[in-house]
A and B are shown apart, each in its own frame.
Chain A
Amino acid sequence: MSPMLIILLLVPVVGALLMYPLRHNVPAAKATAMATALLEFVLVVVIWVGYSPAAAASGTRFQYEFSVPWIPAFGTHLAFGIDGIALVLLALTAFLVPGLMLFAWAEKLPEGRTASGYFALLLATEATLVGVFTATDVFLFYVFFEAMLIPMYFLIGRFGGPNRQYASVKFFLYSLLGGLIMLASLIGLYVTSGNILGQGTFTWSELQSIAHQVPESTQIWLFLGFFIAFAIKAPLVPFHTWLPDAGAEAPIVAAVLLVGVLDKVGTYGFLRYTLPLFPEASRTMAPLVITLAVIGVLYGALLAVGQKDMSRFVAYTSIAHFGFIALGTFAFSSQAFAGAALYMVNHGLSTGMLFVMVGLLVARGGSRLISDYGGVAKLAPVLAGCLLLAGMSSLALPGTNSFVSEFLVLVGSFPNEPVATIIATVGIIFAALYILWFYQQTMQGPVRGQAVLNSLEPVGGPGAMIDPAVAARRGGGFPDLTKREIGALAPLIVVIVVLGFFPGPVLDVINPSVQATMTELGLPDPVPAGGIAR
């Protein structure tokens, strides 16, 4: 019984609650929120240091375990614990939030909205994410899975772009529908466990231990409930249509959390819940999932090429990336699993940075349309350079973080799913295509595009069509990154590059848990451990 994870969960909750008494004192609220987020990050670092991959390799499934009965009538526990996969996702969350707060520091909020509310919602989102990744009781996981919707819903609906009402409601209803279908499976799982054990349970490890005794036909029904919920959350084609709307309308900071971390809950759910709890059903249904995944890789890439709106563009590239993660998850080899788990982290970093760069660009140009920009590299070289790095990371250029994970997924998937892997590899080419095309459109060539030209007009000069106040803020030019922005980006850039060359520390944490998942699945590993994954 270690209280660490409880503390980890409570810190952002307390921080979010503190925003209320501080609502009239914006600087204090911001400082408190930032302090909370940094404290959370420090806690995660402490947990990381204390986490023992060796113990995990020798059979300890979860560490930092904490469990007290919650509702005995339902057999639920307030049970927390982490394995390697959960740990790296926790680290991703805690790493991103302080940086995002720095970007949100001076963000212009819609009229009538307060910064304290904004930061409170960010912290609340972080708390629910911590809960989702640390829960080891399926009921508790479900509670956080649903609770996660609410702060994100308000982030999009209150602080988002012009079409935010539509986007937020669509997001909420899609996710809620998935969640309720999952609830049906959850109840079914409980009843099934009661039939086998005599007393229903929600404890993950107990459910896992009886997983192979559940008849396959039952497993398939239960699997489908969980699968649909996770596929909506991930999102997999054809459950993806909410993401471009939500991603485009959410404020950039929330979009990073949404696409970078929140959506990982879906793929994390595949690895933690669907595979170990429904092993036979997962094997039976794998061809279906892999087909959807490959379709997602190609479809997402093609649609990304056709986007006019930068945020939607990034959202579609993410759908393509989620296809890779799903492929790795259902290819059933330890390498592919490790690749998928690492991909989740890397995608959070690279797409997060891409979203942030888009946000910085939009903050300067005031337009989300790709065609409104051109030749920005001449005016803002640092910004262009950072955008290029984010893009390269997103298309998995060797030397950036994503390369390692994408390579692992493809290599690990090949033995079991050669055809799907070959088709998915084509997606890499598409990725290069859409990223380079996007970069070329916005950054290179002569200075052009309505947004850029408008901002270059001197205040009150001939043909000035823009609001003088806005122009003054911009200084009548297209400013490069400020020091605060560079400061917020620097850790992200460092991590992206370092993980590209030294993924070892992260893989060391992931690998024992991946092996455990393989064992729970009860399938032979086509590529023995310790191969390329090291």
Chain B
Amino acid sequence: MTPLTPPPIDYAAVAPLLIVLGAACVSVLVEAFLPRHQRWPAQVALSVVAIVVAGVTLGVYAGDAPAQGVITLGSTMAVDMPTLFLWGTLLVLGFGSLLLIADRSVEPGGAFVASALERASAGAAPGSTTGPSGVDPEHVDRSYGAPGDAPTMQTEVFPFTLFALGGMMAFVAANDLLTMFVALEVLSLPLYLMCGLARRRRLLSQEAAVKYFLLGAFASAFFLYGVALLYGYAGSVRLSAIAEAAVGTDRSDALLFGGLALLIVGLLFKGSVGPFHTWTPDVYQGAPTPATAFMAACTKVAAFGAIARVLYVAFGSTRWEWRGVLWAVAIASMVIGAVLGLTQTDLKRMIAYSSIAHAGFLLLGTMAITQAGTSGTLFYLLAYGFTTIAVFGIISLVRTADGEATHLSQWAGLAKRSPLLAGVMTFLLLALAGIPLTSGFTAKFAVFSAALSDGMAPLVVVALVASAIAAFFYLRVVVLMYFSETPADGPTVSVPGAFTTVAITLGVVVTLLLGVAPTLVLDWAGAGGFTG
């Protein structure tokens, strides 16, 4: 019997991933052993430190990383330039989301609770809709609590976030399909749970969690089935092995393309690409807003990072075979997102449909198997993520006594009461619509020009028409905020705590910078291609 030799590990390359996952494990221990009142500060500090340290490690490594990337951990991980960019994107977006998640001042006690009972003990009497009464909200919100104080927040959300983030990082770096599947589960399971933790409108939140879980389980099954077929075809789950097997072979293509179809369905589901989008509006609406921000920004990055890698590395040589189908998917996604978005009356659902349309745009970039396509997609993901986090941060600020005021009619006349908030929101919506001098425009330009030069002119025209349609619903919010009269019982705009302020500011500044001076980030995104 030959002794098992462990594969060599390039620890420097995978250090950011290890740090995040390690911190997630520590975070579980913190949850288990620290007294309740110490958990929130400890968890926040741990998560922030973990993400910052991981980011610094990544930055140090990326400074002199080999341009062609390294393949390590027994060839299950490919740490190449796109991986590094996506890791960086995930870390900064995760950081922004974490700030929203950690905030306890906008929603007294934080947006996350596990049961209605805890909500009650946090201050609001059961059945009451008026929030904490009789208790000085300042006291409930801000104090980290003396021993014996009521719990203010479900701090399990921090290990969830870290595990999900670690899963996403592994997902975009996975060099074989089995690793990808494991990473998919690691990132998905915490997200399902996070969806169900909303402090307000709990039924909606739990419905979202169940829906996301059931549909997500289906998607995982599709993915796994696809992996099985591809293994049958290529005899390996390595992406590059599949690409090699597909070249010059007389094996039946049915397994290859059947496998790809099932695999890609699983991935498109995660990326909320139409027509696999049906979970998106419900989950975005029901989940606590910080969790929605995390999902909308980071999950999209992870899903499209993986899609781009799979298509580029494993299926690049057969692109003329499958591209037609993805054309149809992209058109469906753009049209569904843009047209159904018009009919929405809830802001979070509207942003959900907007994300479906954006997923269609992103698919254009991933379909272009060129360097420009890859870098355009990467840039788009970063730009879109920041804008989205800031949008959800703003949404979490507009509140009635009953929680967030997400119905569109409640936003009428907001510019009068809070010109700053309305101005920022307008800017972000213009970015989503892709108006020049915002990151949305630069990103769209990068992706569309890549698509056009790879022979997808008709798709680009469809995409631009869809952008014009989608602009209408973004504009509707602007019209409501600026040109409509305020209803008598309109919502109030909370003064954001430091965390939310930082998150929103970060999103807005990046959205502006990437619109005005995107050169640096474009260079990073274009530093190198996928290796397999």
- Asked if B483 contacts A73 (CB within 8 A), the reply is no
B343 at the interface (CB under 8 A from A): no
- Asked if A187 contacts B445 (CB within 8 A), the reply is yes
B171 at the interface (CB under 8 A from A): no
Per-position 1/0 for A148-160, Cβ under 8 A of B: 0110001001100
A45 at the interface (CB under 8 A from B): no
- Asked if B436 contacts A147 (CB within 8 A), the reply is yes
Chain A residue at minimal CB-CB distance from B448: A187
Distance in angstroms from B357 CB to nearest chain A CB is 13
Known: A187-B449, A187-B452. A176 touches B468 (CB 8 A): yes
- Asked if B464 contacts A158 (CB within 8 A), the reply is no
Within 8 A of A (CB), among B424-447: 430, 433-437, 441-442, 444-446
Q: Bound complex: CA of A122 vs CA of B107, how far in Å? A: 40
- Asked if B472 contacts A157 (CB within 8 A), the reply is no
Q: Which of B434, B435, B453, B479 is in CB contact (< 8 Å) with A191?
A: B453
- Asked if A154 contacts B482 (CB within 8 A), the reply is yes
Distance in angstroms from B380 CB to nearest chain A CB is 13
Known: A172-B475, A191-B449. A71 touches B522 (CB 8 A): yes
A497 at the interface (CB under 8 A from B): no
Per-position 1/0 for B302-343, Cβ under 8 A of A: 000000000000000000000000000000000000000000
- Asked if A180 contacts B449 (CB within 8 A), the reply is no
Contact residue range for chain B? 35 or more
B117 at the interface (CB under 8 A from A): no
Per-position 1/0 for A63-107, Cβ under 8 A of B: 000000011111000000000000000000000000000000000
Which residues of B sit under 8 angstroms from A142, Cβ to Cβ? 436
A181 at the interface (CB under 8 A from B): yes
B461 at the interface (CB under 8 A from A): yes
- Asked if B479 contacts A165 (CB within 8 A), the reply is yes
Distance in angstroms from A408 CB to nearest chain B CB is 35
Chain B residue at minimal CB-CB distance from A178: B468
B121 at the interface (CB under 8 A from A): no
Which residues of A sit under 8 angstroms from B446, Cβ to Cβ? 73-74
Q: Bound complex: CA of A143 vs CA of B430, how far in Å? A: 13
Q: Which of A73, A143, A157, A194 is in CB contact (< 8 Å) with B436?
A: A143
A164 at the interface (CB under 8 A from B): yes
Q: Bound complex: CA of A157 vs CA of B475, how far in Å? A: 11
Q: Bound complex: CA of A144 vs CA of B523, how far in Å? A: 24
Q: Bound complex: CA of A194 vs CA of B450, how far in Å? A: 12
- Asked if A147 contacts B472 (CB within 8 A), the reply is no
B298 at the interface (CB under 8 A from A): no
Which residues of B sit under 8 angstroms from A72, Cβ to Cβ? 519
B467 at the interface (CB under 8 A from A): yes
Distance in angstroms from A124 CB to nearest chain B CB is 12
B23 at the interface (CB under 8 A from A): no
Q: Which of B448, B468, B482, B519 is in CB contact (< 8 Å) with A157?
A: B482
Which residues of A sit under 8 angstroms from B457, Cβ to Cβ? 184, 188
B12 at the interface (CB under 8 A from A): no
Which residues of A sit under 8 angstroms from B472, Cβ to Cβ? 169, 173
Distance in angstroms from A350 CB to nearest chain B CB is 31
- Asked if A74 contacts B445 (CB within 8 A), the reply is yes
- Asked if B468 contacts A173 (CB within 8 A), the reply is yes
- Asked if A183 contacts B482 (CB within 8 A), the reply is no
Q: Bound complex: CA of A172 vs CA of B471, how far in Å? A: 9
Q: Bound complex: CA of A70 vs CA of B449, how far in Å? A: 17
Q: Bound complex: CA of A342 vs CA of B329, how far in Å? A: 50
B416 at the interface (CB under 8 A from A): yes
- Asked if A169 contacts B475 (CB within 8 A), the reply is yes
A426 at the interface (CB under 8 A from B): no
Q: Which of A149, A157, A181 is in CB contact (< 8 Å) with B483?
A: A157
A203 at the interface (CB under 8 A from B): no
Q: Bound complex: CA of A191 vs CA of B435, how far in Å? A: 21
- Asked if A73 contacts B437 (CB within 8 A), the reply is no
B460 at the interface (CB under 8 A from A): yes
Within 8 A of B (CB), among A178-229: 180-181, 183-184, 187-188, 190-191, 194, 200
B518 at the interface (CB under 8 A from A): yes
A112 at the interface (CB under 8 A from B): yes
Known: A112-B416, A176-B471. A71 touches B482 (CB 8 A): no
Distance in angstroms from B168 CB to nearest chain A CB is 26
Chain A residues within 8 Å of chain B by Cβ, number: 34
Distance in angstroms from B237 CB to nearest chain A CB is 35
B529 at the interface (CB under 8 A from A): no
A329 at the interface (CB under 8 A from B): no
Chain A residue at minimal CB-CB distance from B372: A73
Within 8 A of A (CB), among B477-532: 479, 482-484, 517-519, 522-523, 526
Which residues of A sit under 8 angstroms from B375, Cβ to Cβ? 73
Which residues of B sit under 8 angstroms from A70, Cβ to Cβ? 517, 519
Q: Bound complex: CA of A165 vs CA of B485, how far in Å? A: 12
Known: A143-B436, A184-B460, A188-B457. A158 touches B483 (CB 8 A): yes
Distance in angstroms from B282 CB to nearest chain A CB is 29
Q: Bound complex: CA of A181 vs CA of B471, how far in Å? A: 14
B29 at the interface (CB under 8 A from A): no
Chain B residue at minimal CB-CB distance from A146: B436
Which residues of B sit under 8 angstroms from A180, Cβ to Cβ? 434, 464-465, 467-468
Q: Bound complex: CA of A172 vs CA of B479, how far in Å? A: 11
A1 at the interface (CB under 8 A from B): no
Q: Bound complex: CA of A187 vs CA of B518, how far in Å? A: 17
A334 at the interface (CB under 8 A from B): no
Distance in angstroms from B338 CB to nearest chain A CB is 12
A17 at the interface (CB under 8 A from B): no
Distance in angstroms from B455 CB to nearest chain A CB is 10
Chain A residue at minimal CB-CB distance from B436: A143
Distance in angstroms from A250 CB to nearest chain B CB is 13
Distance in angstroms from A129 CB to nearest chain B CB is 15
Q: Bound complex: CA of A188 vs CA of B435, how far in Å? A: 19
Q: Bound complex: CA of A147 vs CA of B431, how far in Å? A: 12
A517 at the interface (CB under 8 A from B): no
Chain A residue at minimal CB-CB distance from B453: A191
Known: A143-B437, A184-B460. A158 touches B468 (CB 8 A): no
Which residues of A sit under 8 angstroms from B448, Cβ to Cβ? 183-184, 187
Which residues of B sit under 8 angstroms from A149, Cβ to Cβ? 435
Q: Which of B435, B460, B465 is in CB contact (< 8 Å) with A187?
A: B460
Distance in angstroms from A196 CB to nearest chain B CB is 13
Which residues of B sit under 8 angstroms from A73, Cβ to Cβ? 375, 446, 518-519, 522-523, 526
Q: Most B CB atoms within 10 A — which of A112, A165, A187?
A: A187
Which residues of B sit under 8 angstroms from A55, Cβ to Cβ? none
A393 at the interface (CB under 8 A from B): no
Which residues of A sit under 8 angstroms from B482, Cβ to Cβ? 154, 157-158
Q: Bound complex: CA of A280 vs CA of B320, how far in Å? A: 34
Distance in angstroms from A177 CB to nearest chain B CB is 4
Q: Bound complex: CA of A164 vs CA of B479, how far in Å? A: 10
Q: Which of A150, A154, A165, A173 is in CB contact (< 8 Å) with B435?
A: A150
Give 23 A-B contacts (CB < 8 Å), ordered by A residue: A71-B517, A71-B519, A73-B523, A74-B445, A74-B449, A142-B436, A144-B436, A146-B436, A146-B441, A147-B436, A157-B482, A158-B482, A169-B475, A169-B479, A177-B465, A180-B464, A183-B445, A184-B460, A188-B452, A188-B457, A191-B449, A191-B453, A200-B449
Which residues of B are in contact with A by a Cβ distance under 8 Å?
A: 375, 416, 430, 433-437, 441-442, 444-446, 448-449, 452-453, 457, 460-461, 464-465, 467-468, 471-472, 475, 479, 482-484, 517-519, 522-523, 526
Beyond A74-B522, A184-B452, 14 extra complex contacts between A and B, CB < 8 Å = A70-B517, A71-B442, A74-B445, A143-B437, A146-B436, A147-B436, A157-B479, A172-B475, A180-B434, A180-B464, A181-B461, A187-B448, A191-B449, A191-B453
Which residues of A are in contact with B by a Cβ distance under 8 Å?
A: 70-74, 112, 142-144, 146-147, 149-150, 154, 157-158, 164-165, 168-169, 172-173, 176-177, 180-181, 183-184, 187-188, 190-191, 194, 200
